[in-house]
Structure 1
Amino acid sequence: MRRPRKVWTSLGGVAAAGALAACSAAAPAPPPEVPLGSPARGAQLIQQYGCGSCHTVPGVSGATGLVGPPLTRFGARSYIAGELPNNGDNLQRWIRDPRGVEPGTAMPNLGVSPLDARDIAAYLFTLK
């Protein structure tokens, strides 16, 4: 049985729309707090730096640590470590030099580069 050309054209349009939706889901836009950041790269870096050995981080495989606070809904929080207002610049500062912000913190300085801190912050701000 042959289907009319119009049906096949409609099915092609649906497939194309699905493909475009998949592309946009794979590369989310950076959050406004870190407009140049890459959330996808940030999630990879969280795994690479081993942040999940101390923190629970939604969306990051194996990030189920219980030493530090869970980072769930991080983007909705008001403060970072109870010290800094939660914004993009302060979060990047905290990620790069936590003991410079709070000398007694248990969070280690992992030698995170400015670019990596930007992308990690971009990911954390997607957690709302």
Structure 2
Amino acid sequence: MMLAGAVLLGGCKEDPRSIVPGGEVRQGLRLVTQYQCGACHTIPGVQGAAGREGPALDHIGRLSYIAGGIPNQPANMLRWLRVPHAVKPGTEMPPMGLTEQEARHIAAFLYTLR
């Protein structure tokens, strides 16, 4: 019975569940494209995202740390996305001018990259 439910859910086209409250994965994917994050990062699932200036983001959702030492938790990810220099002075990650909601959506997408 449980297997049948899993098979049925596998065919759903709903947005994957986000671990970031208020974040929508599909909106995050759209915003990662809109803000051209792929100019600096390689990001699976994002057309043309093959940048080499920043780290590849293909496993960021399962890493223990972001930006070389910040615990990878949603609150830290949101702050990192919005004000990277406040989190890690001297970082090359530029502030993108994201709103709180945009950061939630982008974080929701990034956590799917495992």
After TM superposition, list the pairs within 5 Å mapping 1:3-14 onto structure 2. Answer: none
Task: Kindly indicate whether residue 69 of structure 2 is the aligned counterpart of residue 86 of structure 1.
Answer: no
User: Where do residues 1-128 of structure 1 align in structure 2 (5 Å cutoff)?
Assistant: 22=11, 24-30=12-18, 32=19, 34-128=20-114
Instruction: For residues 36-80 of structure 1, give each alpha carbon's deviation from its aligned partner in whole angstroms, at most 9, with x where no partner exists.
Output: 210111011001011000000111111110000000111110111
Higher relative contact order (CA 8 A, sep 6+): 2
State the superposition RMSD in angstroms.
Answer: 1.7
* CA distance in 1: counterparts of 2:92 and 2:71, whole angstroms: 20
Partners of 1:56 and 1:72 within 8 A in 2 = yes
Kept after mapping to 1: 8 A contact 2:21/2:104: no
Structure 1 contact 58–71 (Cα < 8 Å) conserved:
yes
Number of residue pairs matched by the alignment: 108
Task: Tell me which residue corresponds to 1:3.
Answer: none
Highest Rg: 1 or 2?
1
- Give the structure-1-normalised TM-score: 0.78
More helix by share: 1
Q: CA deviation at 1:25?
A: 3.1
- Runs of 4 or more, structure 1, over 6 Å off, are none
**Alignment gaps of 5+ in structure 1:** 1-16
Percent identity for Structure 1 against Structure 2? 47
Q: Secondary structure at the match of 1:106?
A: coil
SS in 2 for 1:36: coil
